[in-house]
Structure 1
Amino acid sequence: MVKGKKSVHSSSQKVTVIDVAKAAGVSKSTVSLVLRGSTNVKAETVSRVNEAIRALGYVYNRDAAGLRNRESNLVAIVANDLANPYLAQVIIALEGELEQQGFMPVVVNINESVERQATMVESLKEHNVAGFFMTPAPETKAEWLSALADAHPLICLMREVEGATVPVIKPDNRRGMYVATRYLIGLGHKRIAFVGGMASISDYVERREGFKDAMREAGLAVKEDDIETSSTKRHGGKIAVNRVLDRDDSITAVICFTDVVAYGVYTALRERGLTPGKDIAVVGFDDLEDSRLMSPALTTVRVRAEDIAQMATERLQQWRQNQQIPDNALVDVELVVRSSCCLVGERAGGLA
């Protein structure tokens, strides 16, 4: 109950949304949603906010609110990890697309933290951004994401959150990893490991399932120990492949969650006295610019960052113009064959 609050404010002291939020025990943005009549606020919370409004004598100035809520030309890009080189490529392409449409992109880095993600989004909302692009942090709740999309156009990039009513632009992860695994099988590999990535993110799950699809179709067993999660950094790839090979040295090929993970795999193999592309085949995912310069040049699944940026920008504009949530989109993928894969019979020492 909110009682006796009105007397705290003299007639010359204006009651603000912040005062209402404190009295009701909610955030400022929740009070704003209630004032705008949003249906994404629980009835109990609406009642508590309205009680605080009555007790404090708050007056909602709709004309002033209309001016405050007028959209700017800012578009927020909420990046899960700016140290990820592929995400950096996507953001560069997205910035170009947005600038052509007359928008000013603002990039924030949440470093895979769901808490920082919430804090940054709350700050960005105060600037009346025209929309959000976001690669959601692990453990992002569907309810939180849907509530944000109710107030602002929101496009998710590369990752989706199950149950959230938000459009997603992502690579055809499952097909990409299926095609890459089939290629290794075609070279005679039967013992293939899948390394890198976190089980809490959707793109990992999709790529892992593509790997399993190809192995199952070929009648090849996938042991639990053949799959090893890790961070998506180089060091994560190094740790993951070492764990796999320590458990089973019959592995002849390693398929990696990303190119960056594959770079770590290269390091680990060399430290074990093995040569990537000769002793063990290696495949990545993304086709970063550095991948063709690796020694050996990395076979990988190409996903054009420009395609993701273009589709994402188109859907943001559709949402703004039609006031309707646009459809999801899958970006085509392509296997790029280089010299990091070997026929099983060509392995050093002639091992089969």
Structure 2
Amino acid sequence: MVFVMAGRKSASYVASKKATVIDVARTAGVSKSTVSLVLRGGVGVKARTIEKVNAAIDALGYVYNREAAGLRNRESNMLAIVANDLANPYLAQVIIALETALTDQGLVPVVVNINESEARQRALVASLKEHNVAGFFITPAPETSADWLQGLASAGYPTVCLMREIAGANVPVVVPDNRRGMYLSTKYLIDLGHTRIAFVGGVESISDYQERKEGFLSAMQEAELAVKDSDIEPSSTKREGGQLAVTRVLDRDPSISAMVCFTDVVAYGAYTALRDRGLVPGKDISVVGFDDLEDSRLMSPALTTIRVNAEDIGRVASERMQQCREHSLSSDNDVVGVKLMVRSSCCAIGDKVAHSTSVPKD
């Protein structure tokens, strides 16, 4: 059992000097190596001996410096989580799940936010290396190079990418099944009779955008439905980005009857844009999100979306890191499954209220 340090100290001892491992060993009547074993969890040490060591620690006020010990042993139990954008509520859910999985293993997660900045990503990773982190989980910023990411792993820092893949980097990646998720949402709308469907939101330079776009195009092509360049409108992944993207799409082509959104947050922005035009989501235009945030079922109307289980992402990522640290890992991707969550934000085309003079009423 790991000892619990008490706050009581010997006044006479504090007055003289700071307690050391040698002092603890001498007071407990054991060897220095035995004290070290107790400090690291006491595996293989008799209960009576652990009690004696902990009593000595209490009496002397000894404080175990885990960071210094890690530096001496070239080991650390700290793992860095480099987040592209902590304002993203889905990423926050993933990080909470990952933190839980890591702390359950006795590891210490350290979270930093790079705010989608590749320069900030480099600077923070360099600083974290100086603080003896044992490995990195990274949601890479746009413009991250494969050489930089590969160099991090090659330098002896186990590295796992989350949510995004950098082509050419030989590191493990844990991602949702982006293609299938967007295929499912698009096919659902097609099955409702929609033929004019827009794909809105997302940053073109990141892998998950390209994968979701491929899923959208695959479903449209399978149904032999045409897709105009103007039917696809990238944007930031903020709510404001979704609002602006939908406004642009409908300004160009009011015949759009449905839209698949890059994320739930983008879909929230779509709701605002539709209402600004006097349109009702789920009645005048169908909307589908991606992520299944906790708030999505509380939206009005409740948002139909693609569910990606954040706990699964966190669990699988922690398992991959453990394998990395044990040097028993390939760089293959882990693709986490998705599920269509049907709610109230979509309608069959026969039930749709016409929102433009260019669209005949049903």
Could you state the TM-score of these two structures normalised by the residue count of structure 1?
A: 0.80
Q: CA deviation at 1:323?
A: 4.9
Closer/same/farther in 2, CA of residues 67 and 291 from structure 1, 3 Å limit? closer
Counterpart code for 1:287: D
2:279 is aligned, of 269, 274, 284, to 274
Match of 1:119 in 2: 123
2:125 paired with 1:86: no
Name stretches of at least 5 consecutive residues in structure 2 with no aligned partner: 1-69, 355-359
Match of 2:220 in 1: 215
How many Å separate the matches in 1 of 2:129 and 2:76?
11
Q: What secondary structure is seen at the aligned counterpart in 1 of 2:279?
A: coil
2:133 paired with 1:138: no
2:188 is aligned, of 183, 191, 195, to 183
Does the 8 A contact of 1:286 with 1:301 survive in 2?
yes
Counterpart code for 1:116: R
Q: CA deviation at 1:132?
A: 0.6
How many Å separate the matches in 1 of 2:161 and 2:236?
21
2:351 is aligned, of 326, 346, 352, to 346
How many Å separate the matches in 2 of 1:67 and 1:295?
53
How many Å separate the matches in 1 of 2:239 and 2:343?
20
Matches within 5 A, 1:247-262: 247-262=252-267
Match of 1:240 in 2: 245
Matches within 5 A, 1:285-296: 285-296=290-301
Please, which moves more after superposition, 126-135 or 210-219? 126-135
Which one has a bigger Cα radius of gyration? Answer: 2
Does the 8 A contact of 1:69 with 1:128 survive in 2?
no
1:70 is aligned, of 51, 71, 74, to 74
Identity %: 70
1:303 is aligned, of 304, 308, 311, to 308
Does the 8 A contact of 1:81 with 1:87 survive in 2?
yes
How many Å separate the matches in 1 of 2:330 and 2:127?
24
Does the 8 A contact of 2:285 with 2:352 survive in 1?
yes
How many Å separate the matches in 2 of 1:255 and 1:305?
21
2:183 paired with 1:173: no
2:99 paired with 1:95: yes
Match of 2:16 in 1: none
Q: CA deviation at 1:68?
A: 5.3
Does the 8 A contact of 1:344 with 1:351 survive in 2?
no
Does the 8 A contact of 2:173 with 2:331 survive in 1?
no
Could you state the TM-score of these two structures normalised by the residue count of structure 2?
A: 0.78
Q: CA deviation at 1:326?
A: 4.6
Count, aligned residues: 288
Closer/same/farther in 2, CA of residues 295 and 67 from structure 1, 3 Å limit? closer
Does the 8 A contact of 1:262 with 1:284 survive in 2?
yes
Q: What secondary structure is seen at the aligned counterpart in 2 of 1:87?
A: helix
How many Å separate the matches in 2 of 1:245 and 1:266?
13
Name stretches of at least 5 consecutive residues in structure 1 with no aligned partner: 1-65
1:268-327 deviation line (CA, Å, top 9, x unaligned):
000000000000000000000000000000000000000001110011111111354453
Displaced runs of 4 or more, over 6 A: none
Counterpart code for 1:317: Q
Match of 1:312 in 2: 317
Does the 8 A contact of 1:72 with 1:127 survive in 2?
no
Q: CA deviation at 1:89?
A: 0.1
Q: What secondary structure is seen at the aligned counterpart in 2 of 1:286?
A: coil
Counterpart code for 2:108: M
2:98 paired with 1:106: no
Q: What secondary structure is seen at the aligned counterpart in 1 of 2:313?
A: helix
How many Å separate the matches in 2 of 1:154 and 1:309?
14
RMSD over aligned CA atoms reads 1.5
Match of 2:26 in 1: none
Q: What secondary structure is seen at the aligned counterpart in 2 of 1:108?
A: strand
How many Å separate the matches in 1 of 2:179 and 2:105?
32
Does the 8 A contact of 1:315 with 1:326 survive in 2?
no
Q: CA deviation at 1:347?
A: 1.2
Match of 2:162 in 1: 157
Closer/same/farther in 2, CA of residues 249 and 161 from structure 1, 3 Å limit? same
Match of 1:329 in 2: 334
1:17-67 deviation line (CA, Å, top 9, x unaligned):
xxxxxxxxxxxxxxxxxxxxxxxxxxxxxxxxxxxxxxxxxxxxxxxxx95
Q: CA deviation at 1:185?
A: 0.1
Does the 8 A contact of 1:253 with 1:281 survive in 2?
yes
Q: What secondary structure is seen at the aligned counterpart in 1 of 2:166?
A: coil
Q: CA deviation at 1:96?
A: 0.2
Please, which moves more after superposition, 321-330 or 290-299? 321-330
Does the 8 A contact of 2:233 with 2:249 survive in 1?
yes
Closer/same/farther in 2, CA of residues 190 and 113 from structure 1, 3 Å limit? same
Does the 8 A contact of 1:197 with 1:257 survive in 2?
yes
Match of 1:34 in 2: none
Counterpart code for 2:242: G
